[in-house]
Chain A
Amino acid sequence: MAETAERHLTEEDLASIAAGQAPGPGAAAHLRSCPACRLDLDRTERVVSALAAPVTLHEPSADVWAGIERELGLRQDPHAGPGITAVPGAPESSGTSAETAPGGHGGGGTLGADDAGTVSFLPRTQRRRWPVITAAAAAGLVVGAVGAAVVAGLMSQGDGGQDTPSQPVAVGEAVLAPVTDRDVEGRAEMVAGPDGALRLTVDVSEGPQEGYYEVWLRDEQASRLISLGTVSGQTTTLPVPDGVDLDRFPVVDVSQEEFDGDPSHSGLTLAAGAMTRSGDATAG
């Protein structure tokens, strides 16, 4: 009954409704049944009214940073580079509890050790537009669906070699929730081979009808992405580059791509989900 299969509102719909035009009947019906679009519209309206009320932005004076440095005693080693930036703790998402971060406390240590800061304090480099991803994130699909449990300290896997298990070891998995009305969904599983090399096996519910699918590892904001390769059938195993830091790229994303020769993400995510680290899957 509920026509959730209808198309989501386009940017054009959002812009014109937020600017005060009445939504067409189709859009109005869709809005009633689609919380994600309602949220997008609500935010677009907030953007429009915030734009109409300019504020003055202020740059803090140099004293402020000097004060921070003084208070935190960051001065002692001016060349400490990344050591000065933050050491992120274990993921601690608001809604979920300790169980979401297996080895949370210990994991924090691993994480802090050699990855200080780079994970957390991302520069907001030019964010490209990802309307669809944004909608999905808004709906809580991207991360909420898998309980926001994000990999805590996987880096150790990269170098391999400690125990050299002879079997592939499960590193993490992700439930790929559908993002568009095409309802493509799937699963992804990452394993470490005996040599420590990571591979991601992706199952999608339906192969591409046109163009092709591309699999990405990305951060939650989709401001950083690594392309792992293309998917043409329903199950594909792709090699993951050595040394990739899964804490920085916790989300698996499957996009619809066209044969347009443009190597960047099309902006159309079909399914995505954050990777949950495997419990304690070490061999034996």
Chain B
Amino acid sequence: MREAYDQHGRLVFSLCMAALSNRQDAEDATQQVFTRAWRSRETYDPTRPLGGWLTGITRRVVADTFAARDRQRQLVDATSGQHQREDRQLSEQVVDRVLVHEALERLGPPQDEILRMAFVQDLPQGQIAERLGMPLGTVKSHVHRGLARLRAALEVNDG
């Protein structure tokens, strides 16, 4: 369990932060994700990535948190009628972003840096090669391998 938490705590917490934008709520939600995971561990299929399973649980916890917020709000807002707009759940794009950036951090140098330069800063590969003093072919191959690894990270989100 500790291992699962060490491996995926940041992912789950970052997902919760992205959805709930409140540190306390995100911490509570993260705690729930792992306690639920533990309690329903019988349903985990060990042939599938753990991150994907935890992401699924995170979605449900986030949805439940929003539902709880709603109930509370109905009491409080009976008079004020505020707070209509909110992104009600963890959207696919947000999950993708967190998964990809989390995986990017794990790639380690120089691949993570090269991918950042190529896709975050949008630098041409020639320029990246020049800056890093690396042959263009090496940069290309880092880009290709890095993308493949990040793609694998997305698979966990695709059930």
Q: A residues within 8 Å of B by Cβ? A: 10-12, 14-15, 18-19, 40, 43-44, 46-61, 63-65, 67-68, 71-72, 74, 84-94, 108, 117, 119-124, 127, 129-131, 134, 137-138, 143, 148, 150, 219-221, 247, 250, 274
Contacts and interface: CB of A to CB of B under 8 A. Distances in A.
Interface string B5-18: 11101101110011
A58 B13 CA distance: 6
Interface of A is mostly: loop
A49 B120 CA distance: 9
B47 A71 contact: no
Contacts, number: 191
A58 B102 CA distance: 10
A108 B44 CA distance: 11
A51 B93 contact: no
Interface of B: 1-7, 9-10, 12-14, 17-18, 26-27, 30-31, 34-35, 37-38, 41-51, 93-94, 96-102, 104-106, 115-116, 119-120, 122, 140, 143-145, 147-152, 154-155, 158-159
Contact of B151 (A40, A64, A71): A40
A188 to B, nearest CB: 17
Given A47-B154, A50-B97, A122 B50 contact: yes
Given A55-B97, A57-B102, A129-B148, 19 more contacts: A51-B100, A51-B104, A55-B101, A57-B14, A60-B12, A60-B13, A67-B27, A68-B35, A72-B35, A85-B1, A89-B41, A89-B42, A93-B45, A121-B3, A121-B7, A124-B51, A127-B149, A130-B152, A134-B148
